[in-house]
């Protein structure tokens, strides 16, 4: 595992981080989750990415992670980076959603209780909330650090102009934005134009999530939509109608290139997101230990020739998910 400095801070993150969004809640196999976390740590993945609403159900990923950490890795706490977030719907009532001080302060206390931790290494504002003054949200993050509940703070999915305003507020109060988290993949390259210049300017790191575009950048959909896939789930983030013939044709061409590189399509997609030095880390998810192992093997071939990058750009031309 290689580690990259997070912006201009002294903190380093592994090039691949493990996200606990979909597959670590109460409805999932706890034994399999334990195997994945232990294998990730043994492979050098020391950063685990959570949020208050991860599960399902919401909160259960934090609870399960806390149990696994306590029973397997408690003595390694100082070697582990744990991040969590607040901002999306978590509980009923007027204070269970959004980015008010009330919601964020209550949420981090609940998250610390669920995980059994004394502090988070990184705590994010999970999204911009137009109903809350940005100063209120940022001051809550500043106070979280001053109270010792988090070592660093970050932003997730903020519009660029509002992210700059938030970063200015944080920096002026000696709590600089450590890192910006956003969706990034071959089919979502918006961060290259909107966010990379921003983190460069502000000395922050960047961490991408959904590098496989919810599974579309794998060989899973080359022969149709499998019954057990996310696209087949009406409540999933990847909808059936998004799996277009045009996108699948592009994946088919990319898959041929991956084969020539000695990688799976998924491995090449992860490696591609790490080609830019402004990307500190990329968050991968996995349904089982085998998937995680395959994702980690992306690190065996991170180099792309200029010719390969040009061909990939030509293939991706106009591709937006």
Taking only the tens place, the pLDDT of each residue in 140-198 is 999 999 999 999 999 999 999 999 999 999 999 999 999 999 999 999 999 999 999 99
- 245 domain residue, yes or no: no
* The predicted structure's pLDDT at residue 243: 75
Average of per-residue pLDDT across 271-285: 97
Give the confidence band of 245 by pLDDT, cuts at 50, 70, 90: confident
Q: Do the domain assignments include residue 174?
A: yes
What confidence tier does 232 reach under pLDDT thresholds 50, 70, 90? very low
Indicate if the pLDDT at residue 276 is higher than 70.
Answer: yes
Please report whether residue 242 resides in a domain: no
Give a yes or no: residue 89 inside a domain.
yes
In a domain, 169, yes or no: yes
Please state, for a pLDDT cut of 70, what percent of the chain lies above it.
Answer: 93
Q: Which residue has the higher pLDDT, 277 or 319?
A: 277
Domain presence at residue 26: yes
22-72 pLDDT, tens digit per residue, is 899 999 999 999 999 999 999 999 999 999 999 999 999 999 999 999 999
Q: What is the pLDDT of residue 220?
A: 83
Q: Is the pLDDT of residue 241 over 50?
A: yes
Q: Which domain holds residue 138?
A: 3-214+266-302
Residue 77 pLDDT > 90? yes
Per-residue three-class SS string for the chain: CCEEECCCCCCEEECEEEECCCCCCCCCCHHHHHHHHHHHHHCCCCEEECCCCCCCCCCHHHHHHHHHHHHHHHHHHHHCEEEEEECCCCCCCCCCCCCCHHHHHHHHHHHHHHHCCCCEEEEEECCCCCCCCHHHHHHHHHHHHHCCCEEEEEEECCCHHHHHHHHHHHHHCCCCEEEEEEECECCECHHHHHCHHHHHHHCCEEEEECCCHHHCCCCCCCCCCCCCCHHHCCCCCCCHHHCCHHHHHHHHHHHHHHHHHCCCHHHHHHHHHCCCCCCCEEEECCCCHHHHHHHHHHHHCCCCCHHHHHHHHHHHCCCCC
Q: What is the pLDDT of the chain when averaged over all its residues?
A: 94
Q: What is the pLDDT of residue 267?
A: 98
Whether 311 maps to a domain, the answer reads no
pLDDT (0 to 100) of residue 166: 98
Q: CATH number of the domain that 127 lies in?
A: 3.20.20.100
Q: What is the pLDDT of residue 56?
A: 94
Question: Lowest mean pLDDT: which of 82-91, 241-250, 299-308?
Answer: 241-250
Domain count for the chain: 1
- Structural domain contains residue 18: yes
**pLDDT tens sequence across 194-222:** 999 999 999 999 999 999 998 899 988 78
> For the whole model, what pTM was predicted?
0.94
């Amino acid at each position: 595992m290689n580690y990259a400095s997070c912006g201009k801070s002294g903190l380093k993150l592994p090039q691949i981080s493990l996200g606990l969004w979909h597959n670590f809640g109460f409805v999932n196999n706890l034994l399999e989750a334990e195997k994945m976390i232990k294998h990730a740590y043994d492979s050098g993945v020391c950063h685990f990415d959570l949020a208050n609403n991860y599960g399902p159900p919401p909160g259960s990923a934090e609870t399960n992670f806390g149990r696994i950490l306590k029973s397997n890795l408690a003595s390694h706490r100082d070697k582990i980076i744990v991040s969590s977030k607040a901002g999306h719907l978590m509980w009923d009532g007027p204070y269970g959603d959004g980015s008010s001080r009330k919601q964020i302060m209550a949420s981090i206390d609940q998250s610390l209780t669920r995980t059994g931790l004394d502090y988070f290494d990184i705590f994010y504002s999970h999204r911009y909330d137009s109903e809350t003054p940005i100063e209120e949200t940022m001051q809550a993050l500043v106070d979280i650090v001053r109270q010792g509940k988090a070592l660093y703070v970050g932003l997730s999915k903020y519009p660029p102009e509002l992210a700059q305003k938030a970063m200015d507020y944080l920096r002026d109060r000696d709590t600089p934005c450590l890192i910006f988290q956003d969706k990034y993949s071959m089919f979502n390259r918006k961060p290259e134009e909107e966010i990379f210049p921003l983190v460069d300017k502000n000395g922050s790191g960047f961490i991408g999530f959904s590098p496989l575009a919810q599974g579309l950048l794998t060989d899973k959909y080359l022969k149709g939509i499998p019954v057990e896939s996310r696209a087949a789930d009406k409540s999933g983030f990847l909808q059936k109608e998004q799996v277009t013939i045009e996108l699948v044709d592009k994946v088919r061409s990319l898959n041929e290139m991956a084969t020539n590189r000695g990688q799976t399509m998924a491995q090449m997609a992860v490696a591609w997101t790490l080609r830019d030095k402004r990307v500190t880390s990329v968050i991968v998810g996995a349904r089982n230990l085998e998937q995680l192992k395959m994702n980690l093997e992306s690190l065996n071939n991170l180099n792309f020739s200029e010719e390969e990058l040009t061909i990939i750009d030509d293939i991706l031309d106009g591709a937006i998910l």
